[in-house]
Chain A
Amino acid sequence: MNGLLYPFQQSVRRDLLLAARHKTEIVTALFFFVIVVNLLPLGIGPDPDLLRKIAPGALWIGALLATLLGLQRLFAPDHADGTLEQMALSPQSFTLLVAGKILAHWVVAGLPVVLIAPVLGLQFDLSGRSLLILTVSLLLGTPILSLIGAVGAALTLGVRGSGALLSLLILPLYIPALIFGAGAVEADLAGLGSEGHLSLLAALLVVSTFFAPWVTTVALRVALE
């Protein structure tokens, strides 16, 4: 027997290995993000002042939609092939294994978005300082999107047409993260400082890290009955 962290590591490793064998899925989500963010300036017009203003919001909404793409497949394949049953029957904590899956989802769906965001931000003529704040806000915020999203994915597991239902269920719950995340850059530009927004975002991250895996597990157990 190994420590508590070993099964968690294995759960993360398994999902990352599976993602590595499905590279197209990661690339699709990332391209989706890039295209959504690029469409906005095309629709709104090339006014640099306006673009600077909408940049944080545009990138955040792009990140939100990109996360949503992979969520449906977070538990569905494991449910279909019986892996989820085996995880529930593991002598190890089911919650810990589920937390591992959520972390892997963030690494696959959230982290690439955080890494490419500064490059996309340049297109919106954001200053270096704003880019840094935007990236930090996404770094704190995208894990929240994965955590809350996992609750929704577990609740809609096995429901027909779960994709649309999942979006309806989850997008409203993303509002606080969106407000504080996108608001951080604006607050800084307005001279108010971004610390308040980022602290609230960090607090949201802590709260959802504690509660989301647990709630997800409860919902998964119901789906398995």
Chain B
Amino acid sequence: MLSVSHLTCQRGERILFQDLSFELPESQWLQIAGANGAGKTSLLRILCGLAEPVAGRVTWNGKAVRENPETYHTDLLYLGHQGALKEELTPLENLALSLGMEGFAVSENTALAALHPFGLQGREHLPVRFLSAGQRRRVLLCRLLLRPASLWILDEPYTALDAHAVGFLSSLIETHLSRGGSAVLTSHQSLSLPPGLCITL
């Protein structure tokens, strides 16, 4: 369970949000809504433990995330709005190497099996710079299939996706929740997911 208590985030002089508290139990998802610049990404970075809040604490299963990074990072999958994809490498290489650096060996067949449901047949060996924005996003989302994790933190996962991919991603999230996982995501669209929690910044 992810729990957040009395969180305050400050960017420069401006306080983005303060005294934010919530709990995210298993099999639940949380949507973070808010206008552009309201601090959605800042909140996600704090939840990941990448940034330190001015006040308050974030705990995962009762342990502070910044003090116990190893256990937390094993359970966590974070997809930022920056791609973390290398333009010069092919989708296959990108997936194999990024998962390899997390300690998961991914064979070519496993990676291919993850790329195909996202409609990336025939693009496996093409450098990512030749792919469209939506296709890049799909390559990134393949990590959801390949990397076991009980907490997904997704920053704008639906950006640039077409209707088919949106449906597929929603079904992935649903399966994840039904297996006892939890998810935090930011999105401006109304989502076809089972009812979840929502906070507005």
Contacts and interface: CB of A to CB of B under 8 A. Distances in A.
Interface of A: 1-2, 6-7, 9-11, 13-14, 17-18, 21-22, 80-83, 85-92, 97, 224-225
B8 to A, nearest CB: 15
B83 A90 contact: no
A115 to B, nearest CB: 25
Chain B binding site: helix, strand, loop or mixed by DSSP? Answer: loop
Interface in B160-188: none
Nearest to B153: A89
A151 to B, nearest CB: 21
B119 interface: no
A150 to B, nearest CB: 17
B85 interface: yes
Given A7-B103, A10-B97, A82 B88 contact: no
Contact of A83 (B49, B51, B86): B86
Contact of B100 (A6, A80, A85, A91): A6
B86 to A, nearest CB: 6
B82 interface: yes
7 contacts: A9-B100, A18-B89, A22-B88, A83-B86, A89-B76, A90-B101, A91-B74
Interface in B68-105: 70, 73-74, 76, 78, 80, 82-86, 88-89, 93, 97-98, 100-105
A10 to B, nearest CB: 3
A87 B51 CA distance: 14
Interface in B97-152: 97-98, 100-105, 127
Contacts of A21: 88-89, 127
B81 to A, nearest CB: 8
Interface in B48-75: 48-52, 70, 73-74
B103 A6 contact: yes
